[in-house]
Each structure stands twice: as structure tokens, then as C-alpha cells.
């Protein structure tokens, strides 16, 4: 497989991941962090870093809007719930590093 095709497939898979995460608003970021060690905010950070690596200026809010499909504050207001004590404890025990 050539590099262009690989890039196209990777981009398609990433777009599908974003679509999936936008549809699964019931899945909280803390759950993702506790189970997988990354969350929507991590994806936003990685997207921003990739943009900057290509010489494209992008702030955190712009990157988050790309990943969340809406401004982050709006997503938090609509979908984010208060973390439970067990979620907080799991997060502290794992302290996901990436």
C-alpha cells in the first residue's frame, strides 16, 4: 500500500472515531481516561500538536471544537456529568500518562 492510501485510510478511521465519540455522549472523558488512558481532550491536544507540527496555528479551543463537534463549553454543559467517587479514585490510582 502506498503512503497516500495509508494516509487516506488513517484519516477515514479518525473521522469515524470522531463521529463515534460525538454520538456516544454518554461516555464520559473520565471513563475513557480510566479505561484507555486517553480521552477527547487528549485527541484534541494531539490534533493541535499535529497542526502546529505542520506550521498551522491552532489554539486549544479550536482543536477541541474539531474533536467535540461543538464548542467544549457547550459539550460540557449538555453532556458532562459529575464524576463519581469511584471514577475519581480510579483516575487517581491510574494517573494516566501520555
Q: What is the per-residue pLDDT across 47-89, written as a single tens digit (0 to 9) for each?
A: 999 999 999 999 999 999 999 999 999 999 999 999 999 999 9
Q: What is the reported pLDDT for 95? A: 79
The whole-number average pLDDT for the span 28-38 is: 94
14 pLDDT band (50/70/90 cuts)? very high
Domains of the chain as residue ranges with CATH: 3-94 (1.10.3340.10)
In angstroms, rounded to a whole number, what is the distance separating the alpha carbons of residues 16 and 6?
15
Half-sphere exposure at residue 38, Cβ-oriented, CA atoms within 13 angstroms: 8
Q: What is the reported pLDDT for 94? A: 84
Q: What is the dihedral of CA 90, 73, 71, 46, to 10 degrees?
A: -30
Q: Decide: helix, strand or coil at residue 48.
A: helix
Q: What is the reported pLDDT for 34? A: 93
More confident residue, 96 or 25: 25
pTM of the model as a whole: 0.90
Amino acid at each position: 500500500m502506498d503512503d497516500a492510501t495509508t494516509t487516506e485510510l488513517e484519516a477515514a478511521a479518525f473521522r469515524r472515531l470522531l463521529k463515534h465519540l460525538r454520538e456516544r455522549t454518554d461516555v464520559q472523558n473520565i471513563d475513557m481516561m480510566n479505561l484507555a488512558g486517553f480521552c477527547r481532550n487528549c485527541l484534541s491536544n494531539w490534533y493541535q500538536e499535529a497542526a502546529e507540527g505542520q506550521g498551522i496555528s491552532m489554539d486549544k479551543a479550536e482543536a477541541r471544537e474539531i474533536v467535540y463537534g461543538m464548542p467544549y463549553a457547550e459539550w460540557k454543559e449538555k453532556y458532562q456529568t459529575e464524576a463519581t467517587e469511584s471514577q475519581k479514585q480510579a483516575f487517581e490510582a491510574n494517573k494516566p500518562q501520555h
